[in-house]
Amino acid sequence: MKSGIVFIKAVLLLLCSWLAAGSAFAQSAGGHWDFGVYGNLFGAREYQVWVPAGYEASKPLPVLLVLHGCVNGPNLMGEASGFNDVADVEGFIVVYPRQNVTSNPTRCWNWQLPINQARGSGEASILAGIVDAVKAGYAVDPRRIYVTGISAGGAMTSIMLACYSDVFAAGAIHSGGMYKGATTVSGSAYALLAGSIYSPESNGKLAWQCSGSPSPRPLPVLVFHGSADATVNPVNGQQAVRQFLQTNDLADDGLDNDSVKYVPTSTIAGQVPGGRAYTVKNYTYGGKTLVQDYLVHGMGHAWSGSNSGLPFTDPQGPDATLITWLFLKDQLR
């Protein structure tokens, strides 16, 4: 009799676990797309919002702005990165703006044009306006708004972080470059090939000056790059690291006094089982990681760790999507 009771309890426990798994599956399948358009004096852009499973209008959620690369768009970016799946589990809103083909024939964000490199101007103002529209239309935690992007979207991410430190709590630059890495079309071609001709230290000061906040704050930044990237030379990733370290050095007390140092606090070697090796450099400030730099050995111009099979993805690298979210999620503005 006792063994029968134990057996029944075991069956009930197993049944409960199945029901819980089914409920979790139903919840993860419950996210959906919303569509919007935002425009101002500088133009208009469509955007798509992934509203995660279990969204409630009474519960403010973090927001992640995701900027696609060239010849890309919201749907492909969502599939390549897998951010929507993570959002369903973790509970955050994902926003994907779409570059117009009329603004750039290959749908690249025009990060190299000065009009787009200033607060309240050009594409930067449109992207900031999209964030404002999402804040007005959904339950959003204003302390937890983040931005990330790849390639041209990565370079545009640098602009948003530099010029809107009062909006974004942190960000991640994938296969991109530093703020104002180029200021002309020909200059951008050179930067992609060999790195920016500008000093990361000088541009770090320009980034600090671009912020509209009366007291720009130290901004946590993650940089991800492949060592074999033939589209965006990996030196661009290193310049982005140096630029944001300089920006943060100024942001903590308004002085260029090396309070934030360009010396990694720790360097860690990693290896994906059956995949690529990678190196992580951590730069800490005040006991917290302020800048984190991932270099994936042998990887080209790709979103690391994606199993989508889409172009510009590499399943052998570390999971950039999960790493990005884990870096961002606890950062508060």
d(CA 188, CA 159): 14
Q: Which uninterrupted H or E stretch holds 209?
A: helix 200-210
Please answer whether residues 10 and 59 qualify as being in contact, where contact means their C-beta atoms are separated by less than 8 angstroms: no
Mark 31-53 as b/e (b = at least 16 C-beta within 10 Å).
beeeeeebeeebeebbbbbbbbb
Q: Is 151 a catalytic residue?
A: yes
d(CA 213, CA 205): 14
94: nearest Cα among 75, 66, 59: 66
From 151, 165, 175, 304, the catalytic residue:
151
d(CA 72, CA 164): 25
**Angle, CA of 328, 177 and 212, to the nearest 5°:** 65
Please answer whether residues 99 and 106 qualify as being in contact, where contact means their C-beta atoms are separated by less than 8 angstroms: no
- The residues annotated as belonging to the active site are 151
